[in-house]
Amino acid sequence: MILDHPVATLKYVGHQRAARLSRLGIQTIGDLLWHFPRRYEDRRQLKDLAEVTTGEVATVQVTIRAWQEKEVRPRLRLIRALIQGQQGTGFAVWFNQPHLKRQMPAGTRVILTGKVRYRDYQPEIQVIDYETLGEGDPGLHTGRIVPFYALTAGLSQRWLRLVIHLALETVAGDLPEVLPPSLCRRYRLIPRLQALKYIHFPPDAAGLHQARRRLKYEELLIWELGLNLHRAQQEQGRQGIAHTPANNLVNRMVDSLPFKLTTAQARALAEILADMEAPRPMARLLQGDVGSGKTVVAAVAMVKAVAGGWQAALMAPTEVLAEQHSRTLGQLLAPLQIPVVTLTGSTPRTERQTILAGLASGQLPLVVGTHALIQDDVSFKSLGLVVIDEQHRFGVDQRAALQTKGECPDLLVMTATPIPRTLALAIYGDLDISALDELPPGRQPVATYVITEKQRPRAYRLIEREIRAGHQAYVICPVIDTNDDVAAEAATAMARKLQEEVFPGYPVGLVHGRLRPAEKEEVMNAFREGKIAVLVATTVVEVGVDVPNATVMLIEGAERLGLAQLHQLRGRVGRGTAAAHCFLVTRGSPAARERLAILTTNRDGFAIAEADLRLRGPGEFFGTRQHGLPEFRLAQLPGDSRILEQARQDAREICRREGPLPEYEPLYQAAREKMAGLHF
């Protein structure tokens, strides 16, 4: 296919310029055509020389009458053309471009765009762009809506426009249409070739809008279809587990809870249990704010699996979190006498062998662990449910590795990162989504303050007051540098200062990424037991640590973290009945303080996540690109959420069709190629 031909095969490119294009990620003609403009300038309004005014950027249609060339200083030559409009004359100015005299001899009609000034009562245009009006000239650089592209050293806008124009002419008879006619008719989408022409060289604003709408939908549909095809491929030929509908053990579990499920918990649980009872393997994302009760919902699902004779496994990203989940599940399931075991990298060898034997024989129904669960020597007799906590901290292949420990287990993915629905659809398009969008009654709102360095003593006074009242505090030194040693040094210095200068009468603890798992667990246990009054930490407490007695948090350098991450951090306090406080210390600009102020008035994690997404964009939302987040060429989130919703709905409808339809084959092929380039 011509789209796959090397870009060097195009006229005017050659190997040297092809190497420069490769710096922009452009290897093929297809890459070139999908290198969309970053912005446009409307240069359609043509003025006569007599109408231009000083200081404006004007576009004029004139005739070259004569040329002058003059050396202003060494290595700077002024090239000046006498130009004539319909009413009057003036001058056009370039620098160091003597070839223009040959390219546009006297008598040549041109369109010029440039900044105007008057010299000796005559207009002089310092030319930004120009276009000759000879027969056959394509008219790419002025007198129209003009595209501007991302460039690299050695390439110019004029050259890139010309090459893209040539590429469009080259593929005109050989550009495959990937969208079936039925979808194009349904949404009144223009043909693919026309969309590419219009997005690079729009005839008008309406044409540009049509092109962008068509290409965004195509891009999002291919992505969503690829995710759904990937899920279908995983399930192909594998019968899911239809768990028993009626289940006394599940009812006993819910009745034994010391609290009533919230409406959101009950709704999510109903969705999960319905999925588990269906023969198709469940693949569901359970997302909720910090403290919204995800673990309880997951526990009920695990009990349902165990009650039917299956095993359940929960995988967490850290040993601290795995140990906490194990304790929580142990308490919840104690009335049902279901044993819970923990398997991590720190599990002693003898205990590990006992656990492995119990999982392989089926005697141990429920295990909580870390990456240790996906090691080769771990096997299950009948794994029926896989629960992954904080999915975005695992690669998709790690998720799949645990699933392959069973025949076709159900999958429940949990995250405490409130992900905007738009982003959730883009990342987890192959999963059904349940959201816990309310907190259990009794949870205290966290009073949040944005403070400067000068106001730090105020925060320390409140922390001391809380400690005297028998409560505890976190001081967070976020990991900004990827170097764990640097982060550990910063946290260590802070802990020393707090212990020696600020809170000398109270025990200060320290936990950071350089500690061994056993050391972290020792510190966290001491904090849980109240032996440590102030815990200095990097963001290891960001997920899952539950210490109800902690009532105050101070976060250093808050301006360097996203709003969603800060909200998740402050969710570590206010988990008991006492009032809670969070101080955001910033040295940032007024704009940074204004951004942080959103947290002082908003307690809805999903609304905060939406604001974070709008302010920082999807690429920065998680702070890293390892989480399966697609990099779209044209579509933007959350702005194109309506198109994404429609694309997801259409992708699922296409996947449900019985048998392949020939008109959909190009779309299937595009989706398969898209997924092939990703690490699944």
Give, in words, the CATH class of 45-143.
mainly beta
Q: With contact defined as beta carbons under 8 Å apart, do 383 and 310 qualify?
A: yes
Q: Which uninterrupted H or E stretch holds 466?
A: helix 456-468
pLDDT for res 565: 83
Distance CA 253, CA 250 (A): 5
CA 631 to each of CA 220, 627, 628: distance values in angstroms, whole numbers, following the listed order: 11, 11, 9
Distance CA 371, CA 350 (A): 19
pLDDT for res 356: 96
Helices and strands (H, E) in the chain, number of each type: 24, 21
Strands (E), 344-399: 366-369, 383-389
Per residue in 466-482, pLDDT (tens digit) is 999 999 999 998 765 55
Q: Which uninterrupted H or E stretch holds 330?
A: helix 319-333
pLDDT for res 319: 86
Task: Return contacts of 293-296, CB within 8 angstroms, 24+ apart.
Answer: 293/261, 293/262, 293/265, 293/436, 293/440, 294/414, 294/416, 294/436, 295/325, 295/328, 295/329, 295/332, 295/414, 296/257, 296/261, 296/265, 296/332
DSSP 295: H
Per residue in 113-158, pLDDT (tens digit) is 999 999 989 999 999 999 888 766 778 998 899 999 999 999 999 9
* Sheet of 472-476, strand order: 446-451, 580-585, 550-555, 472-476, 534-537, 508-511
Q: How many residues does the chain have?
A: 680
Q: What tokens were used for 286?
A: 């359970």
DSSP 440: P
Q: Would you call 609 exposed, middle or buried from its count of C-beta atoms within 10 A (0-12, 13-18, 19+)?
A: buried
For residue 443, the tally of other CB atoms under 10 A from its CB is 20
CATH topology identical between 45-143 and 282-436: no
Domain ranges for the chain: 45-143, 282-436, 446-616
CA 630 to each of CA 383, 637, 675: distance values in angstroms, whole numbers, following the listed order: 31, 11, 11
Q: Which of 397, 246, 379 is nearest to 313 (CA)?
A: 379
Distance CA 31, CA 25 (A): 7
Q: Which of 296, 301, 304 is nearest to 249 (CA)?
A: 304
Alpha-carbon Rg for the chain, nearest whole angstrom, is 32
For residue 656, the tally of other CB atoms under 10 A from its CB is 9
DSSP 336: G
Q: Which of 100, 436, 177, 175 is nearest to 290 (CA)?
A: 436
Distance CA 164, CA 24 (A): 14
pLDDT for res 484: 60
Q: With contact defined as beta carbons under 8 Å apart, do 58 and 114 qualify?
A: yes
3-state class (DSSP) for residue 97:
coil
Q: Which of 352, 380, 350 is nearest to 365 (CA)?
A: 380
CA 676 to each of CA 574, 644, 670, 671: distance values in angstroms, whole numbers, following the listed order: 45, 21, 10, 9
Distance CA 172, CA 338 (A): 66
Q: With contact defined as beta carbons under 8 Å apart, do 302 and 429 qualify?
A: no
Q: Which of 146, 628, 160 is nearest to 426 (CA)?
A: 628
Per residue in 626-667, pLDDT (tens digit) is 445 567 899 987 788 899 989 999 998 998 876 667 889 999
CA 146 to each of CA 112, 113, 193, 307, 678: distance values in angstroms, whole numbers, following the listed order: 13, 11, 19, 66, 34
pLDDT for res 398: 73
pLDDT for res 541: 53
Q: With contact defined as beta carbons under 8 Å apart, do 564 and 418 qualify?
A: yes
- Non-local (6+) Cβ contacts of 110 within 8 A are 61, 62, 63, 64, 83, 104, 130, 131, 132, 133
CA 646 to each of CA 213, 218, 227, 564: distance values in angstroms, whole numbers, following the listed order: 12, 11, 15, 26
pLDDT for res 639: 81
Q: Which of 607, 575, 602 is nearest to 440 (CA)?
A: 575
pLDDT for res 7: 95
Distance CA 512, CA 54 (A): 62
Backbone angles phi, psi at 661, to 5 degrees: -110, 130
Distance CA 60, CA 50 (A): 10
Distance CA 307, CA 300 (A): 10
What CATH code is assigned to 446-616? 3.40.50.300
3-state class (DSSP) for residue 433:
strand
CA 297 to each of CA 301, 304, 310, 388, 604: distance values in angstroms, whole numbers, following the listed order: 7, 11, 18, 13, 20
Low-confidence ranges of the chain (pLDDT < 50): 542-544, 623-627, 679-680
What CATH code is assigned to 282-436? 3.40.50.300
Strands (E), 74-121: 76-84, 89-95, 109-119
